[in-house]
Structure 1
Amino acid sequence: MLKKSHFLGGAIILTIAGFLSKIIGMFYRIPLQDIVGDSGLGLYQEVYPLYLAFLNLATAGVPIALSRIIAEALAEGNTGKVQQILARSLLLMSVIGTALFSLLYFSSPLIALAMGNLHLVEPIRAISLSLLFVPLIAVLRGYFYGCQKMMVVGLSQVVEQTLRVVLIMLTAGYLVKLGEDTDSVIAGVNFGTMISTVISLLFLFLLLGWQQRSSRLTLDPRWKDWRWWIDRRFFLNMWKISWPICVGALAIPIFSLVDSFLAINIFRYVWRVDGVTADAWFGVYSRGGPLLQLASLFGASIALSIVPAIAEAKRKHDEDRVRTLSRISFRFAWLLGLPAGLGLTGIAEGANLALYGDLEGTRAMAILAVSAIPLSMLLATNGVLQGLGKENVPALHLLWGVGVKIVTTLVFASLFGIDGLSLSWLAASTFVWLLNMRSIRKLVKSEQNWAFDYIYPLIAANVMLLCTWTATIGCQYWLHGISARLLGAAETVIGIAVGMIVYIGLLVAIPLLEPRELDWLPGGNVVRKFAGFLRKRRTEQ
């Protein structure tokens, strides 16, 4: 049985690991640009999204699907079946990874020609090698998700990202020092990415072996029989579960693709600007993308953590636990999505100054940050539906959401420019979240206190936002003589600190967390004692 603190503890671990990985991924491009120059960075940026598209195609649904299948097997007490599931998944993803590698590697000249840059051939071939190994990493992470070992997954994410950045920097610096041309340098950089995935895969296999030894598990003696590895029904079941999860997990990439296809044309033909200006406007708008992903991390982490937890409860026919897990998911996605989205809105100006040195696109960035709130709820409700075995539902809702995103992008961007692009994110993600909630209410009958669950946290988050704005204005007044980037960094750090203190203080003092909910938090007993102390002091006064 999953301990109460493990579910949210796992989500918190994945959030911290994701945050560290995103931060590392955001800032390594600055030294990389210094090493390879603008043209080298341009080549890298052209190839990497292509790799991500293939990567998502191969792996997006696998960890969640596998975690659900393994959690169901563990709920039945069938550890031998878990080994077989893992082995068959590794075989399946080895075949898929090899197929996608071959497709990308051998079609690289055609892809480079279609992209209008033949210098991309070798960089594409180098990055394609990673597809041989990343699907296996996805399988092992899915196995640890299913076993509720979120610390292992979080550690592997940070290790992989750190290794990738270190190897990219070392490879780029070494090849530039040797005097290699830009194509060769970027190919070497992408080869460094492949090496980091190999080391990360070996690290996960090491952790897998350690876990199985500590659990005193022995390898199933039937592993030498090919029929133990190959089961057509299992492969079809994995496909049936994973493909809609794959679609549902692509909310951010798909919505971003809508922007990519429509925004430039809207700027050019509705706003009547030239191509260079349209590209510049889109570049300014894209500044908010990393902040949106950071703010929605907890919702994504809840989605990964909740699927095996609900699948286990559902397999045991524990409907009360299913209701409790669903409600806790909504509550904490809302309680933490609110300060993340509104907090980033409050520090948008400072973050823009610190990262980019000017204030262009600050309003669009602030609106996009607000979108993190419904996006967090969207991702969390996706996880609940997937855990309930309704993985087709969030996929269908996302397709409807894409339609809303297209329509709202055309309308809002034509009226408001880059601010309209951000508004379209807010509209589309809210629409999909509400559709998900409607479906969950039909499947899980749970009571909700709208004032306590939604209204009071919203009021507290807006108080936090007001305090954050006040703190950033104070920074501008007291530190107006320093450089723009330093001022922006100071506004950001102080705004985040003030916002966290105010919001956490309100959560504990009001309180917005029920005593029974604190049992689900790691260290919740400490928070409960502190809240009780505050209430006692208020009573004495």
Structure 2
Amino acid sequence: MSKDTVSDNKIGQQTKELSSKDKMISGSAWMTGASILSRLLGALYIIPWMAWMGNPSVAASANALYIIGYTPYALFLNIATAGVPSAIAKQVSYYNSLNEYETSQKIYRKGLQVMAITGVVSALIMYVAAPLIAGSSPGISVDDGTQVIRSLSWALLIIPCMSVTRGYIQGHHVMKYSAISQFIEQLARVIFMLAAVYFIRQIWNGSVVNAVSASTFGAVIGAVFSIGYLFYIIWRKKPELDEHAAQSLNKVNISTNEIFKSIIRTAIPFIIIGSGITLFQMIDQFTFQQIMTRVSDFTPKEIVDSYGIASGNVNKLIMIVISFGGSMAITSVPLISELIAKNDLKKLSRQVSDSLQLFFFIMLPATIGMAVVAEPLYTVFYGQNDFGTNLLQVASFMSLFLGLFVLMGSTMQAANQTRPALWALAIGLVVKLALQYPMLAIAQTNGMFISNIFGFGVTVFLMLRKMYKVTHFNIGLLLRRVLLMVILTVVMAIVTFAVKEALYLVVHPENRLSALLVMGVSAGMGGIVYVYASLKTRLADRLLGARVASLRTKLHIK
């Protein structure tokens, strides 16, 4: 690691400098591991949660109520944090690259103050606006929705300060502690919410709305544990951070007002771009019931349940693969910001190209593979359901566009291309709105996902075109390698499908254990084929470096 990077031993310690690609791969590995584990916990908890909630009909209604509370919470959370992890990471990395460590510490301290204020304001707004939000949501009691939404507002008092601390650590190109804190947050949340619903519904025979409210309050518990861990890391590293600050050049003198303005100016675009997926989901929440009432023969209960399956169950599963795009975005922001500070356009072009190649290398097999094993995958988590399986298959393809949006949105902002990124998102939202009614009329519930594909597809295209104009990355190389990845992914999908169908001849897919066996074996075989083909074609060597080349040698793959 470079001298301006926080190491596991000592911040100022001279170590071998890592390339941008090495930092991206290492950081992405940490963040992806934490994200996948967190997303798995977020998907697995639903099995005992719904079982303890009551019969399938009650559990489905409870799940819909839970999602209706969490969607607006996600938007308010983005507002409260104002894109702070990425915004702070961008600024800290920028000034660290100039050897202005004292300025980085000032930005962190002032960031904590700003986030404390935005947290209080956002929590108050969400608490007061809860009845209005609940009244605009599909098929629930306004009182019940209000109670659930308000139970989440308390988390907004804590999470902003947690986010700015994560951003400060990420700005030093160390993703380990941020990743661990993310997992701690999710683990504490899941343990609390499962304990709450078990005692309320199984022991005390309490109401569904109280059980859901207690479950959503788990966000507060998770935030407390996470921020406690982060503050411990900052306290433990304080002597080293202070030592580094003492060696700062101090040629940059920024006033408190300038720091506040800089944080806000950097953060506001991050919040809008970071809220992109949530804004699309809010369109679904506020239009789905009204449109489906007109274009379908669903009963009100069926509309609510189908919305819960699509926005709740399916969304939890696709977020597992989308998290890779988010992990790469978190890692790439400080790297790109550092290259911008050094005005190294050649390395910037290579960094953008490397990010895109690594994204497609992982996301193509992940999304297509999920579509192939959608039936056993959905059965493992939520029980056998043809409707849910069909939704998951379509949503799997959609997740590729969502993940690319997350990566490109952060990349453009780190490269100071904020205004084009905002315009691209705005145009995508207009496309989403324009297609929502016809897509729901044609494809019913799947229309939500299809309109998202078109909306995000337009946004991503505009972002990629702009970044090409700015960096002139090697588009020919990118297209050739993506084409090779597509070919390898098709081969993997064929093998996965064949193994799955063969297993269906001897096992019953309706059973959760059987579905787990089918999913594990078929996905495992497909994964082995993809890894082998990547090593055989040297594609993995080019993307991941010498370590993979040595692995190929050990496996005797020529």
What is the TM-score with the length of structure 2 in the denominator? 0.86
1:33 matched residue in structure 2: 50
Selected match of 1:77 from 99, 104, 108: 99
Query: After superposition, where does 1:395-434 map in structure 2 within 5 Å?
Result: 395-434=422-461
1:526 to 550, 554, 558: 550
Contact 1:340–1:372 (8 Å) recurs in 2: no
1:416-450 CA deviation, whole Å, 9 max, x = no partner? 22343332232222222111110001100222325
1:326 to 352, 377, 387: 352
The residue aligned with 2:37 is 20
Distance in 2 between residues matched to 1:255 and 1:166, nearest whole Å: 30
Three-state SS of the structure 2 residue aligned to 1:317 is coil
Alpha carbons 1:91, 1:229 under 8 Å: kept: no
Partner residue, 1:224: none
Q: Deviations for 1:85-117, whole angstroms, at most 9, x for unmatched residues?
A: 110000010111112223334555666677743
Distance 1:386 1:113, change over 3 A: closer
One-letter amino acid of the counterpart of residue 80, structure 1: E
Q: Secondary structure at the match of 1:360?
A: helix
- Asked if the contact 2:432–2:451 (Cα under 8 Å) also holds between the matched residues in 1, the reply is yes
The alpha carbon displacement at 1:349 in A equals: 1.8
The 3 A distance-change label for structure 1 pair 372 and 196 is closer
Determine whether 1:454 maps to 2:482. Answer: yes
Letter in 2 for 1:58: A
Letter in 1 for 2:330: L
Q: Counterpart of 1:240?
A: 265
Partner of 1:302: 328
Which range moved further: 170-179 or 444-453?
A: 170-179
Residues 1:66 and 1:3: Cα distance change in structure 2 (over 3 Å): same
Q: Which moved further from structure 2: 57-66 or 338-347?
A: 57-66
For residues 218-237 of structure 1, the aligned pairs below 5 Å read 231-237=256-262
Within 5 Å, give how 1:6-405 maps onto structure 2. 6-37=23-54, 38=58, 44-105=66-127, 116-119=141-144, 123-174=148-199, 177=203, 185-215=211-241, 217=243, 231-286=256-311, 287-354=313-380, 355-405=382-432
Given that 1:13 and 1:150 are in contact with CA atoms closer than 8 Å, whether structure 2 keeps it comes out as yes
CA contact (8 A) 1:93 1:135 kept: yes
Q: Which residue of 1 aligns with 2:497?
A: 469
Larger mean CA deviation between 160-169 and 28-37 belongs to 28-37
* 1:3 maps onto 2:26 in alignment: no
Compute the displacement of 1:180 (Å). 5.8
Q: Counterpart of 2:23 in structure 1: which amino acid?
A: H
Query: Once superposed, what is the RMSD of the aligned Cα atoms?
Result: 2.8
State whether residues 353 and 487 of structure 1, in contact with CA within 8 Å, keep that contact through their aligned partners in structure 2: no
Aligned length: 523
Q: Note if contact 1:61-1:243 (Cα within 8 Å) is conserved in structure 2.
A: yes
Amino acid at match of 2:25: L
1:526 Cα offset (Å): 2.8
Does the 8 Å contact 2:373/2:519 carry over to 1?
yes
**Contact 2:368–2:493 (CA under 8 A) maintained in structure 1:** yes
Mean Cα deviation higher: 162-171 or 93-102: 162-171
Find the residue that maps to 2:385 and give its secondary structure. Answer: coil
Give 1:6's aligned amino acid.
K
**3-state SS of the aligned residue for 1:373?**
helix
CA 1:60–1:484 in structure 2 vs 1: closer, same or farther (change >3 Å)? farther
Aligned to 1:485: 512
Is 1:502 aligned with 2:529?
Answer: yes
Q: Partner letter of residue 473 of structure 1? A: E
- Cα distance, 1:407–1:83 mapped onto 2, change above 3 Å: same
Distance (whole Å) between structure 2 residues aligned to residue 122 and residue 85 of structure 1 = 37
Check whether the contact 1:475–1:487 (CA below 8 A) recurs between aligned residues: no
Give the distance between the partners of 1:471 and 1:163, measured in 2 at CA: 37
Where do 5+ consecutive residues of structure 1 fail to align? 221-227, 536-541
Offset, 1:275: 2.6
Q: Which whole-Å CA distance do the structure 1 matches of 2:492 and 2:234 have between them?
A: 43
Kindly provide the CA deviation profile for residues 282-333 of structure 1, in whole angstroms up to 9, marking residues without a partner as x: 3444443223222222111111110100110110122221111111001011
Cα separation, partners in 2 of 1:368 and 1:34, compared to 1, 3 Å: closer
Output the CA distance in 2 between the equivalents of 1:483 and 1:273.
25
Structure 1 residues 441, 329: CA separation in 2 closer, same or farther (over 3 Å shift)? same
**Structure 2 residue matching 1:534: 3-state secondary structure:** coil
The share of aligned pairs that are identical, in percent, is 22
Cα 1:406–1:29, aligned 2, differ >3 Å: closer, same or farther? same
